[in-house]
């Protein structure tokens, strides 16, 4: 059965003519929430600081030629893992072999001259000074032999430690000069991860106890958002601050057994630090006015007072308080929009901080 247009208009006018108080009372009865009061909780928490970082190899060096000559042989490939002492490059050694042979011949001649002089000295033909002169001549010749051996050895370029070869900077047959870069070798067994720490946090770190420092956990967040499986430890703090940024570089060391990390990668460092006897409150108990955080505090007479607080850190649904509250205060947890500064509460419910903090993760703003 359809309602006539005249009846519809009549019903609308009748609804609008109801007293406003009745509508407001219905909303009040259905929308009014109970005021809940709680207290700050003192507990041990873990604070997490995140820093952008740069990942560096423990050792990353340029492999350079130590002798002049033609590059006779390249024994490695780009990206190859090499062992300590493994041959990387061979420079044509012909000239250095010939020089070594000549120096060895000079040393043999000097030895013969010395032996002959000693016999003459025994026969009183020459003085002992003559013997000493030929001994010096032999020592000089032997030193030249050792130098030639070293020069010949330098024509074979070997890996000073175990690592990974980077891009090859020369080609077979190239004319090499002493000091030319041949490639780069990275030792990725342990990675050095550098991150910049502001002065305030540096002072907090130095003021913490040795036990708290040792209890720190350092994790590495990779570029794809995943966490590196190995945990790190603080390896070093550099000597001075950057005057332009106000930061000081820290270094965390991470073992890299699977060779996942490479020199030049980026990521984020997560430093988890324990904080003992911290004062925490639910985030829902706070409100913001002009970029400042406040709570409503009840005095002993149940009168509401607005109080500014300083927040040290933000955790999951709770704030760690720097100043403004202590464990004996009572704060309004639910119903902060229903009270005013200076108002006296007549009816409210008190919930223990243990109950409120434990249930925070189940509540939404």
Q: How many beta carbons lie within 10 A of that of residue 76, not counting itself? A: 20
Structure tokens at 51: 């820093």
More confident call, 113 vs 15: 113
In percent, how much of the chain has pLDDT > 90?
48
Does residue 3 have a pLDDT over 60?
no
pLDDT the model gives residue 210: 84
What would the two tokens of residue 117 be? 């002089």
With a cut of 50, say whether residue 29 has pLDDT above it: no
**pLDDT above 50 for 2:** no
| C-alpha distances out from residue 319 to 35, 295, 323, 361, Å | 21, 12, 11, 13
Mean pLDDT of 25-35: 52
pLDDT of residue 100: 85
Higher pLDDT, 346 or 30: 346
Per-residue model confidence (pLDDT) at position 297 = 93
Helices (H) and strands (E) in the chain, counts: 7, 19
Q: Are 49 and 204 in contact (CB under 8 A)?
A: no
**Is 332 within 8 Å of 17 (Cβ atoms)?**
no
What pLDDT, on the 0 to 100 scale, is given for residue 32? 55
Delineate the domains of the chain, giving CATH numbers in brackets.
33-47+277-362 (2.40.420.20), 48-58+188-274 (2.40.30.170), 69-185 (1.10.287.470)
Residue 166 has pLDDT above 90, yes or no: yes
Residue 15 pLDDT exceeds 70? no
Q: What share of the chain is helix, strand, coil (3-state, %, to 5)?
A: 30, 40, 30
Q: What is the pLDDT of residue 271?
A: 94
3-state SS record for 129-162: HHHHHHHHHHHHHHHHHHHHHHHHHCCEEECCCC
Q: What is the pLDDT of residue 358?
A: 66
Pairing of strands 81-82, 156-158: unpaired
Instruction: Give the pLDDT score at 23.
Output: 35
Please give the full DSSP string across 56-72, using - where no structure is assigned: EEEEEEEEE-SS-EEEE
Does 239 score more than 50 pLDDT?
A: yes
| Cβ atoms of 38 and 350 closer than 8 Å | yes
More confident residue, 18 or 257: 257
Mean pLDDT for the stretch of residues 24-46: 70
pLDDT tens digits, one per residue of 257-277:
999 999 999 999 999 988 888
- Position 307 scores a pLDDT of 93
Name residues whose C-beta falls within 8 Å of residue 41's C-beta, 6 or more positions apart in sequence.
279, 280, 281, 327, 353, 354, 356, 357
What pLDDT score does 202 carry?
93
**Nearest Cα residue to 191 out of 153, 230, 225:** 230
Q: Tell me: the pLDDT tens digits for 53-109?
A: 999 999 999 999 988 888 889 999 999 999 999 999 998 887 888 888 898 999 999
pLDDT number for residue 356: 79
pLDDT, one tens digit per residue, over 302-343 is: 899 999 999 988 888 889 999 999 989 999 998 888 888 899
Q: How far apart are CA 258 and CA 139, in angstroms?
A: 52
Q: Is the pLDDT of residue 10 over 50?
A: no
Closest CA to 184 of 349, 311, 17, 60: 60
Query: Do 124 and 111 contact (CB within 8 A), yes or no?
Result: no
Pairing of β 36-38 and β 349-350: parallel
pLDDT score recorded for residue 360: 57
Kindly report the average pLDDT of the chain as a whole number: 85
Contact indicator for 145, 99 with CB cutoff of 8 Å = no
3-state secondary structure of 324: coil
Roughly how many angstroms between the first and final C-alpha of the chain, as a whole number? 45
Strands (E) in 65-198, as ranges, are 69-74, 81-82, 87-91, 156-158, 163-165, 175-176, 181-198
Measured from the Cβ of residue 92, the count of other Cβ atoms closer than 10 Å reads 17
**pLDDT tens sequence across 300-310:** 998 999 999 99
Per residue in 200-228, pLDDT (tens digit) is 899 988 988 888 888 889 999 999 999 99
């Amino acid at each position: 059965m359809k309602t006539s247009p005249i009846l519809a208009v009549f019903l609308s006018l009748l609804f609008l003519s109801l007293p406003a108080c009745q509508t407001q009372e219905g909303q009040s009865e259905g929308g009014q929430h109970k005021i809940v009061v709680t207290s700050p909780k003192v507990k041990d928490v873990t604070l997490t600081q995140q820093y952008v970082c740069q990942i560096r190899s423990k050792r990353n060096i340029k492999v350079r030629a130590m002798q002049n000559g033609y590059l006779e042989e390249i024994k490695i490939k780009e990206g190859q893992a090499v062992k300590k002492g493994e041959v990387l490059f061979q420079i044509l050694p012909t000239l250095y072999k010939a020089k070594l042979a000549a120096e060895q011949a000079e040393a043999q001649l000097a030895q013969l001259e010395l032996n002959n002089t000693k016999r003459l000295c025994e026969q009183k033909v020459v003085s002992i000074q003559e013997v000493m002169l030929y001994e010096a001549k032999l020592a000089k010749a032997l030193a030249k032999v050792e130098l030639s051996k070293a020069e010949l050895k330098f024509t074979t370029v070997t890996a000073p430690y175990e690592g990974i070869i980077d891009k090859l900077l020369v080609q077979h047959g190239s004319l090499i000069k002493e000091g030319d870069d041949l490639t780069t070798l990275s030792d990725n067994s342990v990675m050095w991860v550098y991150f910049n720490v502001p002065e305030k946090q540096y002072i907090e770190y130095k003021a913490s106890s040795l036990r708290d420092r040792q209890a720190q956990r350092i994790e590495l967040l990779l570029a794809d958002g995943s966490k590196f499986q190995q945990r790190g430890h603080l390896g070093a703090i550099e000597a001075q601050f950057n005057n332009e940024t106000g930061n000081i570089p820290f270094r965390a060391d991470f073992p890299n057994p699977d060779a996942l990390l490479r020199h030049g990668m980026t990521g984020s460092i997560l430093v988890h630090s324990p904080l003992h006897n911290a004062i925490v409150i639910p985030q829902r108990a706070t409100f913001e006015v002009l970029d400042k955080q406040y709570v409503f505090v009840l005095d002993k007479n149940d009168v509401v007072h607005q109080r500014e607080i300083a927040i040290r850190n933000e955790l999951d649904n709770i704030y760690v308080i720097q100043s403004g509250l202590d464990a004996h205060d009572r704060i309004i947890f639910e119903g902060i929009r229903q009270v005013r500064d200076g108002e006296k509460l007549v009816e409210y419910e008190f919930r223990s901080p243990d109950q409120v903090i434990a249930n925070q993760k189940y509540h939404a703003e």
